[in-house]
Amino acid sequence: MPESTVAVVPAIEVLHLSKRVADASAESGQLTILNDIDFTVLRGTTLAIVGASGSGKSTLLGLLAGLDTPSDGTVKIDGEDIFAIDEDGRAAVRKGKLGFVFQSFQLLGHLSAIENVMLPLELRGDAGARDKAQKMLERVGLGSRLKHYPKYLSGGEQQRVALARAFVTEPPLLFADEPTGSLDAATGEAVIRLMFELNQERGSTLVLVTHDTSIAARCQQTITIAAGRLA
């Protein structure tokens, strides 16, 4: 008998995705931010989304994460149509499957480094949150800065805390939006190298928005957005 073939479900499927917003200055009364975007991201791979400022890269990332809703089309995460479920369902997908790294770090100023990393673990009820957070901060080279608050950390240190927070829950899918945009070149290089190391160690899927072609070149797949379309 022939061996059965098991279909491999992609990490992400983007199907005819479009986003329009009201704009009184446009002839049609609408501004098209994204227009009929299609692509697939396989599990365990790395994808760079590149394009000029204002091309729609960050809007696309927000749609992939279900933080915004499309005008047309849809996104599937692990085969699940995230726009066929309600916002509570999308929030559950984000909590269970996604990690995020932002340009502006998005750390909570009233929490120490270890408390910032513990937070996503505590929100989902993980046991041993402090121990896991400490080990993750040690992995990113901040074992001596556990009790420091964000205002006492450099930009590079804050982004390493953000990386620790993103990876500590071991998400199968990581989104990074211009993660070096607020850093100088040398610090940015160190952060990017660390992010790829962590991603490889954990076998996660990485989707990275960047305008830096040298960073994009490290990814296995690159798509370019120009004027809201795939170039």
pLDDT of residue 27: 72
Report yes or no on 106 lying in a domain: yes
Residues in the chain: 231
Closest CA to 161 of 98, 119, 202: 119
For residue 133, the enclosing domain spans 43-66+85-230
Is residue 19, in this structure, part of any structural domain at all? no
* CATH number of the domain residue 120 falls in: 3.40.50.300
Are 50 and 39 within 8 A, CB to CB? no
pLDDT category of residue 1 using cuts at 50, 70 and 90: very low
pLDDT at 5 over 60: no
Q: Which residue, among 193, 210, 147, 198, has the nearest Cα to 169 in the 3D structure?
A: 198
Q: Is residue 31 part of a domain?
A: no
Q: What is the pLDDT of residue 93?
A: 93
| Within a domain: 100 | yes
The tally of domains found in the chain comes to: 1
Three-state DSSP state, 116: helix
**147 is a domain residue:** yes
Whether residue 226 is predicted with pLDDT greater than 70 in this model: the reply is yes
For the stretch 71-130, pLDDT in tens is: 999 999 999 999 999 999 999 999 889 999 988 889 999 999 999 999 999 988 899 999
**Taking residues 33-61, what's their average pLDDT?**
93
Domain for residue 27, yes or no? no
| Cβ atoms of residues 101 and 162 within 8 Å | yes
Q: Is residue 9 domain-resident?
A: no
168 pLDDT above the threshold of 60: yes
Q: Is residue 50 part of a domain?
A: yes
Q: What is the pLDDT of residues 31-45, one digit of tens each?
A: 899 999 999 999 999
